[in-house]
Each structure stands twice: as C-alpha cells, then as structure tokens.
Amino acid sequence: MTACGLKTVLAFGVTMCLAGTVHAWPERFEGHGGPVKSIALSADGSSALSSSFDYSAIVWQVGKDSAAVGQRLIGHEGPLNDGVLVGKDMAATVSDDGSVALWNLATGEMLDRVDEGEEKMIRVAASADGRFVASASWDRNAYVYGLAGNRLGRHAVLSGHRGPVNAVAFLPDGKRLITASYDGVIRLFDADSGELQREAYSHGWGVNVLAVLPDGDRVVFGAADGEAGVISLARGEIVKILPKHERPVLSVALSSDLSALAIGDGAGVIRFYSVDGFALEEEFQNPYGPVWGLAISPDNKTVFYAGLDDSVKSWQVTPRAPFEPVENDFPRRFQVSETADPGELQFARKCSVCHTLTPDGANRAGPTLYGVFGRKVGSLPGYPYSNALRTADFVWSEKTISDLFDYGPDVVTPGSKMPLQRLRTEADRDALIAFLKRATAPGPDRRSSQERNEVVK
C-alpha cells in the first residue's frame, strides 16, 4: 500500500507526495489462531483489542504500517465474542463461557471475572466516564457492573427481555443504557437502579447491533432481517432508514469523533456512511464471508474488519484503494476440496478451527493434536488445560478418541472446555481416526502450521 495519499504534480508531469498527509494504517493484524469476532480501536488509534474464537483476546500496539501483539489475554473457557477498552489501561471481554472478564492492558493479567451461568455472553460495553461495564447475555438479561478499583461489582440486572439479549450500549451521560434483543425490542434502562424506563422501539425482527449517537437520542440499529436505520429514543420511531442489507446485520462501528459510521452484514458487505445526513459514501465486499467486527481509524479513512479469517484486515476507504485484496489467504482449512479423504474433511470442518496437526499449536483454542496417539490426556506442556483434562488419567488411542466423539466430551471428559461435539456414525468416526493416525504421527517431515495450511488447500 502506498502511503502517498495526496499527490501534487510538479512541472513536466513529475509527481511528488505531500509529506504527512496520510497516516498509513496496518493492512492486517496477524496473531489469532481462529476466527475473530470483534475489533476495537483506542480513540487515538495507538492500540487495539481483538477478541477471537481461539479463546483469547489480543491487545495490539498499532504503529505506522504495522500492528504488533502487545498482550494476549488468556483465561476464558470458551470462544470470545466481544471486547471493549475501559479507560486507558483496562479491557473487558465476554465469552461463550457465560462470563465477563476485566484485564490489565499493560500486563495482560486477568483482574476479575464474573460468571453469570451457562448461556453465551455476546456483547460488552463501557460507559464513557469509566464507572460501569455492561454485558448482553443470551440468558435474556443484560448485566451492569460497577468498576471499583480493579474489580467488577455486580450492580444491576436488566431483565424483562423476551429473548436473548444481543447488544448493549450506554448513552453519553453514562446514567442510562439501551439493550437490543432477539425479541425485536430496543429498551431503555436506568444504569443505577437497573429499572426499565421504557420499550423505546419495536422492530419486529431480532435486533443485533446498536450504536448511540452523541446527542444521546439517536441510535443506529441493525437487525436480523437486514434492516438498518436510526431511531430517536425520545420519539420512539425511526428517523432514518438506511439501505437494507440482504443478510442479517452483524456489526456496527462509529469513528472516535462520531462522524463516520460503518455497518457490516452476514454476506460480507460493509457500508460506510457519514453521520451527517447518513449519506452512503462507500461500499466494500469482504470476500471472506461475514463481518462480525468493525472499527474505524481516528482519521476516518480506514475500516478494520473481522470475520472468519484469523486476521483482522483493513479496507482503505479514502483515498479509495483497489477493491479486492490481491492475495487470497482465506482460511484454507475451510476450503478442502470435496474429493479429499472423508476423514480429512471431517477434521477440516469440525476440528481444524481449534486444533492444528503440527508441533506448534498456532494459538488455536485447543492443544495441537500432533503426536496425540499414545499421549496421556491433558499432558502437552505449555497448554492451559482445564482441571478436568489435567487430572484425567488415560491415554489417547483409537478407542478413546472414538469414544470422545461417540459419547461426547461432556461424558468422556466431564468438565472439559472442549465444546460438545459428536460424530454420530461409526463410519465418520473411523474415517476421522484413520486420518488423524496418519496426520498426527510425529515424523521428520512435519511442517509448521502455516506451511501445512498451504498444503491442505
């Protein structure tokens, strides 16, 4: 990517860059071992937070042209769904494991974690004054936590939703917040008492995402039916309908100066608007599938998007960069050809998002399965197993791995953090195991996971 945004033409057609006109943002943030669910940038763009399916979040140091891994936040027991920066030195994340966690950005230490139960926590927000963190849960509640020192104190439960809660956002005053639910309603709550003030708007279809505009009245929403628009909380009605998406709206981001807006959907479409008048300025098609996370650079010229791929990528909105990223490195593990061996297909579809087959685990959520046959359960050095696996006492063999997927991890290794999966037919299990026996055998020709991915293509 060229850093030359503004050119001036000198005599005889010689062009020259006007120095310092465009800050070049990194093209990608590389470091996760699984799909990325959300991305957030600090107000000055110098740091970022990404939350991934690989059970971790990463704090990034964002420099000119490059993004370096600052800290890995490890400690959730399931895929992460969202993360938010809290003040200058903390972050909060939520996970499928039903918990919200608070982290120290500089050290990567988990400061506190509150478990609310079995259901996924899907979204997290912080009030601008840094007093509160709130989370949206599929248990039909949202939760407000007071930040006292380095702890999350349960402050209020926002109840009354008739479906899972998909989104939560504070109003600028930090005293009120809104939720969006699968039941189609956007509700307004008092942050201190947790009381429902009113059902501000009913869309009919599930509402997935919310963003509050600086006037504290207008709210951008996106819904499961592809509808996106702006409502007025005071008037309880739509004040602006945005172009409809063909697939569910999955993500929304406002720039730090609140003047630009990006909306992403399940088919990979990202639309970029100026908040003033909501004119559609640019549209982008992520060739790699759904857009789960979005963030806008402080200069409003670059959009960062997260999805199925392991890396967060950037789209340069202005000056408009060539549309299609040139090299296709869409996670190759999802693209195994239909003619591949049936066991390899099972692995690609059901396991590879969390496990590699090579000596390095590539930061995926599960341990590498390299050399798994004959290995004692829960014994790979350096991998943070659950207690259940660490203390279990058997050895992985054709039989025990087959049992794992015949009866399910919840039966064979109760308490394991591996999500429930079963391969129901014996043929599927046999094919997977035959493949695993070949592919996990330690040997001199094992390649790094990256090279391996290239071969799997």
Q: Cβ of residue 444: shortest distance to ligand HEC, in angstroms?
A: 22
Look at strands 142-148 and 121-126 and give their pairing: unpaired
CA–CA separation, 337 and 457 (whole Å): 8
What tokens does 106 get?
């500089």
> Of 37, 123, 355, 429, which one interacts with ligand HEC (CB under 6 A)?
355
391 near ligand HEC, judged by CB under 6 A? no
314 near ligand HEC, judged by CB under 6 A? no
Q: Which is nearer to ligand HEC, 60 or 292 (CB)?
A: 292
188 near ligand HEC, judged by CB under 6 A? no
Q: Which is nearer to ligand HEC, 179 or 416 (CB)?
A: 416
> Of 60, 201, 370, 385, which one interacts with ligand HEC (CB under 6 A)?
385
Q: Cβ of residue 93: shortest distance to ligand HEC, in angstroms?
A: 17
CA–CA separation, 388 and 409 (whole Å): 11
Q: Which stretch binds ligand HEC (CB under 6 A): 64-72, 145-153, 268-276, 345-353?
A: 345-353
Q: Cβ of residue 449: shortest distance to ligand HEC, in angstroms?
A: 15
Beta-carbon count within 10 A of 52 CB: 28
- Widest CA span of the chain, in angstroms? 78
User: What residues have CB less than 8 Å from 75, skipping those under 6 apart?
Assistant: 101, 110, 113
Laid out side by side, the sheet with 185-190 consists of 165-170, 176-181, 185-190, 196-202
Q: Cβ of residue 401: shortest distance to ligand HEC, in angstroms?
A: 5
Question: What residues from 211 to 270 belong to the interface with ligand HEC (CB under 6 A)?
Answer: none
> Of 177, 253, 270, 353, which one interacts with ligand HEC (CB under 6 A)?
353
371 near ligand HEC, judged by CB under 6 A? no
Q: Which is nearer to ligand HEC, 312 or 377 (CB)?
A: 377
- Return the SS3 of 158: strand
CA–CA distances in Å: residue 275 to residues 139, 278, 284 = 33, 5, 18
Q: Cβ of residue 304: shortest distance to ligand HEC, in angstroms?
A: 24
345 near ligand HEC, judged by CB under 6 A? no
Q: Which stretch binds ligand HEC (CB under 6 A): 64-72, 216-224, 334-342, 413-421?
A: 413-421
Q: Which is nearer to ligand HEC, 23 or 350 (CB)?
A: 350
23 near ligand HEC, judged by CB under 6 A? no
The per-residue DSSP string of 409-442 comes to HHHHSTT-SSPP----SHHHHHHHHHHHHHHHS-
> Of 389, 412, 431, 439, which one interacts with ligand HEC (CB under 6 A)?
389
Q: Which is nearer to ligand HEC, 171 or 351 (CB)?
A: 351
> Of 418, 431, 439, 456, which one interacts with ligand HEC (CB under 6 A)?
418
> Of 396, 412, 446, 456, which one interacts with ligand HEC (CB under 6 A)?
396
Look at strands 312-316 and 302-307 and give their pairing: antiparallel
> Of 386, 397, 403, 437, which one interacts with ligand HEC (CB under 6 A)?
386
> Of 67, 291, 354, 357, which one interacts with ligand HEC (CB under 6 A)?
354
> Of 61, 197, 421, 448, which one interacts with ligand HEC (CB under 6 A)?
421
Contacts with ligand HEC by CB under 6 A: the residue count is 25
Q: Cβ of residue 389: shortest distance to ligand HEC, in angstroms?
A: 4
Residue 100 bridge partners (DSSP): 94, 114
Q: Which is nearer to ligand HEC, 305 or 405 (CB)?
A: 405
- Return the SS3 of 343: helix
What's the angle, vertex CA 37, arms to CA 457 and CA 165, rounded to 5?
140
CA–CA separation, 418 and 78 (whole Å): 8
Contact flags string 271-310 toward ligand HEC, x per CB under 6 A: ----------------------------------------
Look at strands 110-115 and 121-126 and give their pairing: unpaired
> Of 365, 412, 439, 456, which one interacts with ligand HEC (CB under 6 A)?
365
Determine if the peptide bond prior to 319 is cis (ω within 30°): yes
419 near ligand HEC, judged by CB under 6 A? yes
Q: Which is nearer to ligand HEC, 328 or 421 (CB)?
A: 421
The Cβ-side half-sphere exposure at 154, using a 13 Å CA radius, reads: 11
Kindly give the residue spans of alpha helices, DSSP state H, lying in 293-396. 342-350, 387-391
CA–CA separation, 253 and 187 (whole Å): 20
User: What is the H or E stretch that residue 456 is in?
Assistant: helix 449-456
CA–CA separation, 383 and 361 (whole Å): 9
Q: Which is nearer to ligand HEC, 112 or 344 (CB)?
A: 344
Beta-carbon count within 10 A of 252 CB: 20
**Contact footprint for ligand HEC (CB under 6 A):** 350-351, 353-355, 365-367, 369, 372, 377-378, 380, 385-386, 388-389, 396, 401, 405, 416-419, 421
